[in-house]
Each structure stands twice: as structure tokens, then as C-alpha cells.
Amino acid sequence: MNLESLWVLCVLLFVDGATIAATSTVLLLHYGRFHEPWRIAVFGGAASALGSAVQLWMLRWALSSEHRWMKRFTPSREKVEAALKKFPSASFVALTIARATPLPDAPLKIVAAVIRYPIYLYGLATLLGTIPYFWVLALIGHKFEIPTWMLIGAFALVVVGVIVDRLFRRGRAKPA
């Protein structure tokens, strides 16, 4: 099995899209050295969009579920209502633009799940936004060949930053 294969990247991007969607930047910068950016954008974008559609399906199921064990994994009603206030419409254009930027699209994904936005349209919007974004990142990886240790270190710093932010918010949220 060739770990530098485009198919391996596509599987990784599918899994990333269907789960936490946090490793795609590192993957694209790394695999950019092995493949043409357009191939990564098209095939990797399709895999990621398919994974995102699966994630939306799972999120819709979780939000509509009455299973007690799922309550731990689903966003609180307050978070859903806040997302609905901030993003009252999960339109096709908004979803496409959100995927074409490095900004998190989780609030729009929650809105799309709550309003039961069609999964096929969500997947298409995600694909159309992902292709140019993935192309740019793959091109950067292709032109600059960033060392793997540096990519892993940058990813680790982001993870540590997220953890620190969560702990800081949790500490501030506790009543005195």
C-alpha cells in the first residue's frame, strides 16, 4: 500500500469530513508535494464533500434522536438556537462560500441539520466550495514542500490552542 497515493488521501479526507474535519489542511499541504493540485482539489474535494454529507446525515439523526446516550454528543438547545439566530438561512451560496474559506462552518452545518437542508444540495455546495480551497492548499504544498514535522507541529499547536480555549471558557462559565 502506497501511503502517498491519491486514493489514500481521498479515504483520509472522507473520514476527516465525516468526523471532526480538522486535519484536511495538514493533509492537503502534505499530499500537495505528491500530486497535481487540480487532482487533489477534484478528487479530494469529492471525498471530503461526501464525508461532510455523511456527517450532516449523522448530525440530523443525532439532533432528531430521542436516545439518552446521544444527548451527550448533540449540541445543546441553546447552541442550536444561537446558531439559528446567527445564521437564519443555510442557503446554498452561504454553504459554498463557507467551504471555500478556512473559517469553521460548524454553525451553518448545525443550521442545515436543524432545518433538514437536503443532503445532496449540502454535498454539492460543499464540493463547489471545497474545490478552490483545496486547490490553493495543494498548490502551496506542491510549490513549497513544507516538512512533515512542521505540519504536524503546526497541527499540534492548533489542537493545544483549542484545548486551552475550551478550558478557559469552561472556567469562565462556572458561577462563583
- What is the tens place of the pLDDT at every residue in 67-110? 666 666 566 667 766 766 776 666 888 889 989 988 878 888 88
CA distances from residue 83 to 116, 123, 140 in whole angstroms, order as listed: 14, 20, 33
95 plus 105 within the same structural domain = yes
The pTM for the full model equals 0.81
Boundaries of domain holding 130? 6-145
pLDDT value for 164: 83
130 plus 158 within the same structural domain = no
Strands (E), 112-163: none
Overall number of domains in the chain? 2
25 plus 59 within the same structural domain = yes
139 plus 151 within the same structural domain = no
d(CA 159, CA 165): 10
Average pLDDT per block of 10 residues along the chain, 176 residues long:
88 93 89 95 97 93 70 65 67 88 83 87 95 96 88 85 79 64
140 plus 168 within the same structural domain = no
Give the relative orientation of helices 24-31 and 148-173 as an angle to the nearest 10 degrees: 170
SS3 167: helix
21 plus 95 within the same structural domain = yes
77 plus 102 within the same structural domain = yes
34 plus 106 within the same structural domain = yes
Q: What's the gap between Cα 44 and its chain centre?
A: 13
89 plus 111 within the same structural domain = yes
150 plus 118 within the same structural domain = no
